[in-house]
Structure 1
């Protein structure tokens, strides 16, 4: 863990050096207090001298002042390094997460990933910013104390050191188990957190089905599992602390008996014995402290392992080493899809798209229709390079998208999904997500084009109104119009609409459709459509079934040439007529 952390710490060597000097300085001064005690007893109490006592107290006071100054620099520098390093780790970790494809987040719980970004890094910060400093200071105190003990009295030092092997070996063995249990505990806590987040996020569904007791029990079971794992870890640490205390304090008791005998025999002064006892207590206390911190370090090692796994995850889809630029001045189709075949890793024998071929001209509007599971959303994922096909490819102006810079490729698109995505921010920030450097005038112009300006002005703070988590304070139609305003502001060459009006009422759909018409002007547009009535205005309709392109044409032509399209149209329009008759 420390070798891995060094790649972050090495950028702050000067501060680290100051912290280490302060650590050594404070450890040395702490041990120097033993000499102050010796002088106080021998030159003050033993000699019955007021001057000797005053001099000893002055020396002790100077040591205490120096100790306070050193402690300030030690604490400040070590804490600064801890906070700075953890901030760097979080930045690197989050940056890695942003580069991973959506498929990664489909296979991993969002709550668990958040736990690694927050809980695990906080645990690391505790170790780097305090526990590590505490452990190093006590290690220096231990080594310095042992040295001074041998200088003072070899015989008594050997009595104390006799118990060290009985502490070190259990420390190593138990420490490994604590590390493993800590990782398991963190995993279970992350799983519990993920479950809690999901159930609270979908609280309406939970309460509508009156399943509060069920999800509460499931959470309780998960929390109990995490508690049992933590309890197992705590037992090991408690045993280790008890072992250290009984061994060390037992050795100190034996040492006191032997040293007291030597004082009574006149072989050792009371001041020397007091100083030795002070060193022995410092050694015992520092060893006990290191033992306790060792458990924290092992917990941090488990957290670091989880973070390292995530940082080491390489995205399946990356920008190639040599990229090609797209020449939009070229003639020919803007998008060319040829012999496209794709299967999901979980279903390798089932083709989501199979031998798919389609050319799309600049400014053309294409609707994709077909039953659920026919490959419409998969095609969008491939266009955006969220996934790569196993066979065939997609070209933009005769340039394979796999040879393009990933950011440049995605800048060509604007996606308006069926369920609009809004962030926990105000209106301006949500619209400006399409173009971060847009001015207020550009934002308002996009909102007006999306037919969103009027309802925005009715909000409590207008464009600066906070929308809540996922835009919870807005209706579905209002959310969708903000998503469209964002897409208008982005000014893309290619527009991807994923059934942007299917979840809306008639009035909201009318307003959103007006906004979409504004957005689609002079843009190449692909529309996933389930309701055929919404795509009557497009240039061509592509009919998909079982991942294959079965027909392409206008609405009227497809009614004659495509049995599947005709069946879908009859089902939808017949249902619509039935509803009108009932009304």
Structure 2
């Protein structure tokens, strides 16, 4: 119930659409019942012996009882008096209400001739049908507007919350799983909203008005028709519980399928390089087969309630047909035309009852999806602004890491231990060390993608946890090793994060990154779309676009993870020139993979197994018999320029 109420809370902004839809639903229910009720005078008009009565209630056109002038004879007067007495005697309780409503309907419809009555009746039916269908269209449109608006708001809320979550969350969760929740699961919730405000409002209205007709016509037969209602509720509730479990399994299978598809497409180069197409196809087929089976179970449970409800309803109908038919034949309870109207109303009520039988299942499917969506929304961001956090002023003195420790979770080994490091404003510090030694973790802490589990990081004396995250990252430019470019134009990729940037400034940044020349040669220059992840560019070109992006932002603090991919000599020189321009005059933390970078750095810090093991300049460290010398011999020595 709590999940259900949370879903419905998103309906508040659209309450006026819902209110309008409910008014239309009420109109639809009344006009639907009216079409059934007017069946009675329609039958009487076509098959009845009498069409119109005089003011006294005496049939006209009966020679034996009245003359041509319409004056009743003595026998006619006695018949009329007896008929009036009988009708007054009968008009008590539900029977009286029934006869009164029938008279009022006849007064509205009947005319002096059957032909005129039929014409008027057709006009009334036409008006009712027009009103009924206009109401149906309007309620469907208003409901669709509100439902789709809720789904849009919920999807936006989920997407916004995902961006607020910390980096660690995305390391724990699969990308395909998150995509499935934002797309597939949110859409499944639409069924819950539709059931809540469509089926649960509209169908009960129809049931009520048809039930009212049934009670008016014969409360005895109506009681017989309600005998099997508790059994129907029991069946529907049991099926609904099983349906929720099947729906959850189906949504999880879809998430697995989406994850596999996302990973395969993202890693298609590796798949082809290792001739693993057959393996990945087999894996995908197994998952589609599993999803197919979960869908079959879901379909089985989903469709089980409907035939059971219909069978029970048909049993009721047959019981009414047998019992009521006998009463009609024996001349009790109902007149034949009343019994036909009762039967028509009963079977008209079957459709909304059947829909109500399905609504519990639809709600359970939506609740299963809502559980997965709200599990994301209930995940609290680990990195947030502390109460009273202030904007970070411009860097003037230093970045200090004071005895910093960090673990990714409570059970893992320390990623960093007792890190003491001071980076002066304007200084370039190159971080080197074996893979997995903690270099990337260290710069992630400076960017506050994570908070230290011990110690603190301060900028000009201000703890990073006491300043706003936005103001910290506004001061930073981050160039990752795996260059991320979006499926957008070159212009928008370079200006990413900087709104309304003039083209001349973008071109200046591209020129500083040695990217302007190749950009101008692209089919549409700066308006060329790069494709997903910039697949239309070479590795060196992607690196220079990323550097241009950082130059345009003009950050005070630069975090730069050099790409390890090898480039041809010309591209290497162009990239290195761009890096030099990028780092000039900035405070920089660089995870270095190029000899030229460590040689030009103001200081080299060697990180191994989560600790700083050496620190100094390249020239002095190379003379020490330490880890840096080993790394130099393994990693950098081949990059030394060859003497001529």
Same fold (TM over 0.5): yes
- Paired with 1:47 and 1:467, the residues of 2 have a C-alpha distance of 83
Confirm or deny: 8 A CA contact 1:477 1:508 kept in the other structure.
yes
Alpha-carbon distance in 2 for matches of 1:292, 1:129:
12
* Partner residue in 2 for 1:112: 177
C-alpha separation between the residues in 2 aligned to 1:149 and 1:118?
45
1:536 to 583, 599, 611: 599
The corresponding residue for 2:210 is: 145
Q: Does structure 1 residue 12 correspond to structure 2 residue 14?
A: yes
Query: CA separation of 1:95/1:574 partners in 2, compared to 1, >3 Å: closer, same or farther?
Result: closer
Q: What's the CA shift for 1:532?
A: 3.3
Matches within 5 A, 1:284-299: 284-299=350-365
**1:431 Cα deviation after fit:** 1.0
- State whether residues 391 and 472 of structure 2, in contact with CA within 8 Å, keep that contact through their aligned partners in structure 1: no
1:230-309 equivalent positions in 2, closer than 5 A: 230-267=295-332, 268-309=334-375
Corresponding position: 1:414 with 2:477: yes
Per-residue CA distance 1:357-408 (angstroms, 9 max, x = gap):
1111111111001111211000011011111111111111110001110111
Separation of aligned partners in 2, 1:297 and 1:325: 46
1:45 is matched with which residue?
47
- SS of the equivalent of 1:388 reads coil
Give 1:61 deviation, angstroms. 1.2
Tell me if the contact between 1:160 and 1:251 (Cα under 8 Å) persists in the aligned partners: yes
- State yes or no: 1:336 paired with 2:415: no
Q: Do the aligned partners of 1:20 and 1:74 also contact (CA within 8 Å) in 2?
A: yes
SS at structure 2 position matched to 1:315:
coil
CA 1:79–1:429 in 2, change beyond 3 Å: closer, same or farther?
same
> What is the rounded CA distance, in whole Å, between the counterparts of 1:546 and 1:109 in structure 2?
27
| Contact 2:392–2:471 under 8 Å retained in 1 | no
Listed one character per residue, the Cα deviations across residues 214-235 of structure 1 (whole Å, up to 9, x for unaligned) are 1112112222222222222222
Among candidates 396, 402, 405, match of residue 459 of structure 2: 396
Deviation, structure 1 residue 471: 0.7
Structure-2 residue corresponding to 1:373: 436
Match of residue 240 from structure 2: 175
Say if 2:458 is the partner of 1:456: no
From 59, 62, 65, the equivalent of 2:127 is 62
Alpha-carbon distance in structure 2 between the residues aligned to 1:440 and 1:533: 32
1:514-563 Cα offsets, whole Å, 9 max, x none, are 11111112111111013434321111111112111122111111112351
Q: CA deviation at 1:51?
A: 3.0
**Aligned with residue 541 of structure 2, among 478, 483, 489:** 478
Q: Cα 1:328–1:557, aligned 2, differ >3 Å: closer, same or farther? A: same
Residue 156 of structure 2 corresponds to 91
Find the counterpart in structure 2 of residue 155 from structure 1. Answer: 220
**Alpha-carbon distance in 1 for matches of 2:502, 2:49:** 84
Structure 1 pair 474/306, CA: closer, same or farther in 2 (3 Å)?
Answer: same
Contact 2:8 2:193 in 1 (8 A): no
Out of 535, 556, 559, the residue aligned to residue 493 of structure 1 is: 556
Quote the Cα distance in structure 1 between the aligned partners of 2:307 and 2:564.
Answer: 67
For 1:401 and 1:189, how far apart are their aligned partners in 2? 40
Q: 2:253 aligns with which of 155, 169, 188?
A: 188
Q: Is the 8 A contact 1:44 1:51 kept in 2?
A: no
Displacement of 1:139 in angstroms is 2.2
Picking from 178, 203, 211, the partner of 2:276 is 211
The change in CA–CA distance for 1:563 and 1:457 in structure 2 (over 3 A counts) is same
Match of 1:515 in 2: 578
Conserved 8 A contact 1:502-1:531: no
Name the TM-score, length of structure 2 as normaliser.
0.86
**2:496 aligned partner:** 433
The answer as to whether partners of 1:142 and 1:283 remain within 8 angstroms in 2 is yes
Partner of 1:504: 567
1:135 CA drift (Å): 4.5
Question: How many Å separate the matches in 1 of 2:634 and 2:268?
Answer: 35
Deviations 1:179-223 (A, max 9, x none): 121112101111111111111221221122121221112112222
How many correspondences in the alignment?
Answer: 577
CA distance in structure 1 between the partners assigned to 2:267 and 2:49 by the alignment: 79
Cα distance in 1 for partners of 2:552, 2:596 equals 27
SS at match of 2:590: strand
What is the alpha-carbon distance in structure 1 between the residues aligned to residue 49 and residue 450 of structure 2?
86
| 2:615 pairs with one of 533, 536, 552 | 552
Partner of 1:222: 287
Partner of 2:38, secondary structure, is helix
> CA 1:346–1:214 in 2, change beyond 3 Å: closer, same or farther?
farther
Report how far residue 127 of structure 1 moved.
Answer: 4.4
Q: For the residues of structure 1 that align with 2:566 and 2:207, how far apart are their CA atoms? A: 69
Unaligned runs of 5+ in 2: 51-113
Partner of 2:68: none
Counterpart of 1:3 in structure 2 is 5
Structure-2 residue corresponding to 1:445: 508
- The 1:531–1:457 alpha-carbon spacing in structure 2 relative to 1, beyond 3 Å, is closer
- CA shift, 1:501, in A, is 5.8
Question: After superposition, what is the alpha-carbon deviation per residue over 1:299-322, rounded to whole angstroms, capped at 9, x for unaligned?
Answer: 111111111111111111111111
Q: Secondary structure at the match of 2:605?
A: strand
Residues 540 and 552, structure 1, Cα contact 8 Å, conserved in 2 = yes
- Per the normalisation by structure 1, the TM-score is 0.95
CA distance in 1, matches of 2:302, 2:282: 30
How far apart are the structure 2 equivalents of 1:21 and 1:303?
Answer: 30
Query: Which runs of 5 or more structure 1 residues have no equivalent in the other structure?
Result: none
Cα displacement (A) at 1:444: 1.4
Out of 23, 26, 46, the residue aligned to residue 24 of structure 1 is: 26
C-alpha distance in 2, partners of 1:503/1:279? 80
Residue matched to 1:424: 487
**Cα distance, 1:344 vs structure 2:** 1.9
